[in-house]
Structure 1
Amino acid sequence: MFEEASEVFDNMFKSSFPLTFIVFIPAVLILVSPLPAEAAHEFTVYRMQQYDLQGQAYGTRNAILNTEARTVEAEVLSRRCVIMRLADFSYDKYQKALRQSAGAVVIILPKNMSAMPQDIVQQFMELEPEMLATETIVPVYFAEEDNELLSIYTQTLTSSSSQGSLSAAEVLLHTATANGFQMVTSGAQSKAISDWAITSLEGRLTGVGGEDLPTIVVVAHYDTFGVAPWLSYGADSNGSGVSMLLELARLFSKLYTYKRTHAAYNLLFFVSGGGKFNYQGTKRWLEDNLDHTDSSLLQDNVAFVLCLDTLGNGDSLYLHVSKPPKEGTPQYSLLKELETVVASQHPEVKFSMVHKKINLAEDMLAWEHERFGIRRLPAFTLSHLPSHRSAQRSSIMDVRSVSPSSRHGAGEPPAGWVHYCKSHQYPKRKHFTFQRVSFPSSSLVMALPEQPYCNIIKRLHKRCSVKVRLRWQNSVDDLHIFASSLKLCLPFSLRVKPAIFDLLLAFCIAAYLGMMYLAIQNFGLLYSVVRRITLPKAKVH
């Protein structure tokens, strides 16, 4: 019986070789198939800035990635997605990934930024301008830490670190058999936004006592800046400046409703856009008001321009000027009044004036008041920063709560963006509560049509009884922004075999089929050998 069955199988496989695939391939796939992949974990990533300013490219150029995850401790980073935590981040490690032509870089940020050591936060803030200054082909993303992402990072770190102590054969075997994590983005390559505008707002309070009244201008730019647009909340720079401007507008609107407190000054409140791009919104606003109109308050007598910038932290207060004010001028009176109030009411606050001339040779102006100084308008900037080069003005780390010792304005010290407190009935008690920033306000994000930032400012201005109007300026000719693919959903597929495993699997299948083919073609010989081995030997008498 067994011999007859062997002859049937021998003739069947010799006459129909494709039948070999039908019978044996399913068995092969079942035996050597990889472990089933676990469910994919999706989380949100935020892309690095991308813009061109004055012919210079800044930030990352690519947005698409589909590659395996590694940590910077791995020996080979080429065409791999390098993930690293902020606590372990350094510029040398970042440059190592770029030099080895990594497929992408993902930096994991902690949920609670205030819990991070200040030296790490300060170090990263100082590195952000360097990361943006160089055009980077590699896609760079940021992600907020969660339990699943932390678990993925830990497993990847363990796998990457163990490869350094293995031999070449062990590394090859580990590469072929280990489970990895595949990172895939679903977005498209970013494209420049050709039609976008800088949005600014202005509000007015008219003085009393005559027609030709001097005008006091209060200015604050609302946009923020950081290495990642969707993470640039700007709690201090310059959410605190806008918060203080709105609080001043509220206070003066209340004073201007009564004859006894109605001052003989026109007040102009200007919330400008494009502040982080060389104050382009202020530049266009000045051109419209000084060069193309005859009905602007700036055409009349301007007492001074007060710019508010980064006022929500610290125990110091600086008045930055391009030209020291002369005695007898309104700006000199303001300077002396500030000195008196600080000395009598808040002696713990250090107040001083910082003089810096306008340097037109630099690509970027230092402070917003320099835009007004170029047009020969008396202006200065009030800030708690002693220098315009402070890293706090352009960082995604600007989300920390404001120190309780900061008392630079009316009401509570601002901790970021301002929301109107609806729990207090207007106008019986008019005030704003200063809360943490709830949405980013980077210029790249503001270019998107669905952003409600300026409309919120307009509503708050109107609640202060200030006549408000929105102003749109055309986009800057020498600034091209790429605001697409800034926020993506990134799935991590767990238990993903590396690409070399496919080659190994194909080799095993080919070897198995080759052996089976040879065995079938020589089934008679194989059967006789097996029969000879399995049959008992005849006894010798």
Structure 2
Amino acid sequence: MFEEASEVFDNMFKSSFPLTFIVFLPAVLILVSPLPAEAAHEFTVYRMQQYDLQGQPYGTRNAILNTEARTVEAEVLSRRCVIMRLADFSYAKYQKALRQSAGAVVIILPKNMSAMPQDIVQQFMELEPEMLATETIVPVYFAMEDDELLSIYTQTLTSSSSQGSLSAAEVLLHTATANGFQMITSGAQSKAVNDWAITSLEGRLAGVGGEDLPTIVVVAHYDSFGVAPWLSYGADSNGSGVSMLLELARLFSKLYTYKRTHAGYNLLFFVSGGGKFNYQGTKRWLEDNLDHTDSSLLQDNVAFVLCLDTLGNGDSLHLHVSKPPKEGTPQYSLLKELEMVSSSQYPELKFSMTHKKINLADDMLAWEHERFGIRRLPAFTLSHLPSHRLAQRSSIMDVRSVSPSSRYGVGEPPAGPHVDVKKLSRNTKVVAEALARVIYNLTEKGAPGDLQIFSEQMVQEEQLSAVVDWLTAQPRAAQLVDKDSSVVSTLEYHLGRYLKDVKKHYVKADKRDPEFVFYDQLKQTMNAYRVKPAIFDLLLAVCIAAYLGVMYLAIQNFGLLYSVVRRITQPKTKAH
């Protein structure tokens, strides 16, 4: 009996295609179904800015990401992670993702941003402030391009682009058979960072000739800013300003070492923190020196305050003022000396004064000197930029990574803002000469404009370049530079080499009514998992249910099925 049944089933599976298909199809589907999610790629992502300034929220509000990848070419972006390359980025595409309630946006940046075409760099720099202008619920990340990430983008782009040109049935089949990528961040939701301290530093050179000497203050903020804190290197804004300040401190420390060249001015050098957040470090420093102390150089005779901002390029210098200086004042003398030194020693350099009143109705001050102007201290900002609104002051494109040939004036300059060390050295020489002429009253003494106090060799181009290289070796966003940061300690060391009484000043936000609030989770690890889409699981479940239904019916009607199969498989007999 068993031998006979075995022979029947053997003949049935050998010659019956429909039943063989029904039995083996589920096994095939199970074998081709995705295994537990396997990480296709792990990479670092940098989150868009998230901060509150004077009670107004800016940037992205979320940090958690766990959704399937799509490119902006897909018709449906809701609850999807939209990935796009910088070369294809536009504000319209970005807004499309936000309008469709995308789960997240990941923007892929090239490895060498200085090699990007100028028009793309300029376009993105202009879009950065718009991206940060209002708060965004959708988490926005930036990632540096590599081969694996580029492959993920290419596969996702192919899948997203093809869906728009297919029929409904083809889209369903394509969706069920294609592989997708699930993008998942490893970090937690962002939260406010409590008790964050913004650090500023000061040092001084005391003049000779009595206690009540006029004081000249030289200021530069060291922090950088861009759409993503971990990508903000601030080479020109304001690595160049800090580099110039340190070089000026070195030059004048030499003059103040000798009795014959020791001038009757106090020199106060201030490196401020939180400059990109409405100059919080300068604001607190002024409050401490003018409101809460009985002994301060700022409470005495302040000749003027010179702020240095974005001075590493260009063939023009602009002295930005809130109130034009009057004749006979030290600030007017500096204005004239800058004009004289520029025209007589560097005729290719165009110098001008730019007047703009302080607008207290604006949320953000235009230049750092306005902080001093509000406290009725004569101040101005020197920059090669004609306007405070130019995008390169707050961009992740402001990087130092230029080729050696470009750095030394050979070949094409890199795209975007960068620091030309030769021009930075020239601008430093102009400022040093003008300050020295004011300090020693050389114009009143009849000294010609082409008289050089500092030789070309005294202004060390290598030193300037080294400082800019060091400053741009790590991001200096205010949220990343705490009081124990290497940036702060190294600045303190350099100031201590040239100046006396080097001090640190800290700013912490008021707990009851904070002027600024920073958030964490600005840098995370993201995993791209290769997965089947959810509709594949649905179709698989339908096939399994159909299979079980067929098997149930087959068992219930086994006799009928067996007779049919036997009739089909029974060899035909020849009629005699």
TM bucket, shorter chain: 0.7 to 0.9
Closer, same or farther in 2 for the Cα pair 1:406/1:263, shift >3 Å?
A: farther
Partners of 1:44 and 1:143 within 8 A in 2: yes
Distance in 2, Cα, partners of 1:179 & 1:145: 21
Work out the CA distance in 2 between the residues paired with 1:329 and 1:411: 45
TM-fit CA distance, 1:65: 0.9
Q: 1:25 to 1:117 in 2, by over 3 A?
A: closer
User: 2-side partners of 1:348 and 1:458: how far apart?
Assistant: 51
Asked if the contact 1:35–1:495 (Cα under 8 Å) also holds between the matched residues in 2, the reply is: no
The 1:430–1:68 alpha-carbon spacing in structure 2 relative to 1, beyond 3 Å, is: closer
Residues 316 and 208 of structure 1: CA distance in aligned 2, closer, same or farther (over 3 Å): same
Quick one: structure 1 residues 3 and 529, their matched pair in 2 at CA, closer, same or farther if it must change by over 3 Å? farther
Q: Distance in 2 between matches of 1:536 and 1:307?
A: 103
Q: Give, in angstroms, the shift of residue 11 of structure 1.
A: 21
Q: For residues 161-217 of structure 1, give each alpha carbon's deviation from its aligned partner in whole angstroms, at most 9, with x where no partner exists.
A: 111111011011111110111111010000011211221111111111111111110
CA distance in 1, matches of 2:531, 2:404: 50
> Helix, strand or coil for the counterpart of 2:233?
coil
**C-alpha deviation, 1:495, in angstroms:** 3.5
Whole-angstrom distance in 2 between the partners of 1:411 and 1:32:
55
CA distance 1:413–1:145, shift in 2 (3 Å): closer
2:507 to 454, 458, 467: 454
- Name the TM-score, length of structure 2 as normaliser: 0.76
Closer, same or farther: CA 298–413 of 1 in aligned 2, 3 Å: farther
Residue 454 to residue 332, structure 1, CA distance change in 2 (3 Å): same
Cα offset, 1:400, TM superposition: 4.8
Structure 2 counterpart of 1:437: none
Change (3 A) 1:355 1:529: same
Relative to structure 1, the CA distance from residue 260 to residue 328 in structure 2 (aligned partners, 3 Å threshold; closer, same or farther) is same
Task: Tell me: CA distance 1:535–1:246, structure 2 relative to 1, closer, same or farther (3 Å).
Answer: same
Once residues 510 and 58 of structure 2 are traced to their aligned partners in structure 1, the CA distance between those partners, rounded to angstroms, is: 30
Cα 1:278/1:272, change in 2 over 3 Å? same
Task: For residue 327 of structure 1, report the CA deviation from its aligned partner.
Answer: 1.5
Q: Could you say if the C-alpha distance between residues 380 and 517 of structure 1 is closer, same or farther in structure 2, counting changes exceeding 3 Å?
A: same
In 2, Cα distance between the equivalents of 1:311 and 1:5?
94
For the structure 1 residues 253 and 379, does the alpha-carbon distance in structure 2 shift closer, same or farther, using more than 3 Å as the test? same
User: Is the partner of 1:361 in helix, strand or coil?
Assistant: coil
Change (3 A) 1:409 1:197: farther
Secondary structure, aligned partner of 2:508: helix
Note the alpha carbon deviations across 1:224-283, whole angstroms, 9 max, x for none. Answer: 111111111111111111111111111111221111121111111111111111111111
Runs of 4+ in 1 over 6 A off after TM superposition: 6-26, 35-38, 402-416, 425-431, 453-459
Instruction: Give SS of 2:160's match.
Output: helix
- Secondary structure of the residue aligned to 1:212 is coil
SS at match of 1:190: coil
Q: Residue 10 of structure 1 contacts residue 523 of structure 1 at CA under 8 Å; is this kept in 2? A: no
Separation in structure 1 between the aligned mates of residue 91 and residue 108 of structure 2, nearest angstrom? 15
Show the counterpart of 1:462.
none
SS in 1 for 2:396: coil
Deviation at 1:536, TM superposition (A): 2.1
Distance 2:498 2:412 in 1: 18
Pick closer, same or farther for the CA change 1:191–1:426 going to 2, 3 Å.
closer
Contact preservation (8 Å) 2:197, 2:508: no
- Is 1:14–1:520's contact at 8 Å kept on the other side of the alignment? no
Change beyond 3 A, Cα 1:405–1:260: farther
What secondary structure does 1:10 align onto?
A: helix
Structure 1 residues 538 and 412, CA, compared in 2 at 3 Å: closer, same or farther? closer
1:29–1:77 Cα change, 3 Å = same
User: What secondary structure sits across from 1:405 in the alignment?
Assistant: helix
Report sequence identity in percent. 91
Q: Is the 2:118–2:415 Cα contact (8 Å) retained in structure 1?
A: no
Higher helix residue share: 2
After TM superposition, the structure 1 stretch with the greater mean CA deviation from structure 2, 169-178 or 516-525, is 516-525
- Residues 466-524 of structure 1 show CA distances to partners (whole Å, capped at 9, x for unaligned) of xxxxxxxxxxxxxxx3431100xxxx445421111111112212222222222233323
Larger mean CA deviation between 52-61 and 115-124 belongs to 52-61
Segment of structure 1 superposing worse, 34-43 or 508-517: 34-43
Deviation at 1:107, TM superposition (A): 0.6
1:322 to partner: Cα distance? 1.0
Describe the shift of the 1:80–1:414 C-alpha distance in structure 2 as closer, same or farther (beyond 3 A): closer
User: Whole-Å Cα distance in 2 between the matches of residues 50 and 57 of structure 1?
Assistant: 8
Cα gap change, 1:412/1:127 in structure 2, threshold over 3 Å: closer, same or farther? closer
Contact (CA 8 Å) 1:113, 1:400: kept in 2 or not? Answer: no
Q: Hey, what does 1:485 align to over in structure 2? A: 521
Residues 402 and 414 in structure 1, CA contact (< 8 A), matched pair in contact too: yes
Q: Is the alpha carbon distance of 1:493 and 1:5 closer, same or farther for their aligned partners in structure 2, counting shifts above 3 Å? A: farther
Q: How many pairs align?
A: 489
Deviates more, 1:22-31 or 1:245-254: 22-31
**Alpha-carbon spacing, 1:370–1:358, altered in 2? closer, same or farther (3 Å):** same
* Partner of residue 549, structure 2: 514
**Pair 1:413–1:34, CA change in 2 (3 A):** closer
What is the deviation of 1:406? 13
- Give the CA deviation at 1:62: 1.0
Q: Does 1:532 align with 2:541?
A: no
Name the CA shift for 1:415/1:249 in 2 (closer, same or farther; >3 Å).
farther
SS of the equivalent of 2:244 reads helix
1:127 and 1:228 map into 2 onto residues whose CA distance is 13
Residue 37 (structure 1) shift: 6.7
Distance verdict in 2 for CA 1:458–1:35, change over 3 Å: closer
Contact 1:32 1:505 in 2 (8 A): no
Other structure's SS at 2:260 match: coil
1: CA distance, partners of 2:414 / 2:322: 27
Cα separation, partners in 2 of 1:427 and 1:380, compared to 1, 3 Å: closer
Give the secondary structure class of the aligned counterpart of 1:458. Answer: coil
Instruction: Tell me: CA distance 1:286–1:177, structure 2 relative to 1, closer, same or farther (3 Å).
Output: same
Q: Which one is further off, 218-227 or 494-503? A: 494-503
Q: How far off its partner does 1:95 sit? A: 0.5
Contact 1:312 1:413 in 2 (8 A): no
Identify if the C-alpha distance between structure 1 residues 52 and 409 changes in structure 2 by more than 3 Å, giving closer, same or farther.
farther
How far is 1:36 from its partner? Answer: 8.6
Q: CA deviation at 1:539?
A: 3.9
Deviation at 1:540, TM superposition (A): 3.8
For 1:122 and 1:530, the matched residues in 2 are separated by: 75
- Unaligned 5+ runs, structure 1: 419-424, 432-452, 460-480
Report what 1:501 is aligned to.
536
Q: Does structure 1 retain, via aligned residues, the 8 Å contact 2:284–2:507?
A: no
- Contact 1:207–1:263 at 8 Å: present in 2 too? yes
CA distance in 2, matches of 1:57, 1:75: 31
Give the direction of change, closer, same or farther, for the CA distance of 1:290–1:14 in structure 2 (3 Å limit): farther
CA offsets 1:443-470 (integer angstroms, 9 cap, x no match)? xxxxxxxxxx9999999xxxxxxxxxxx
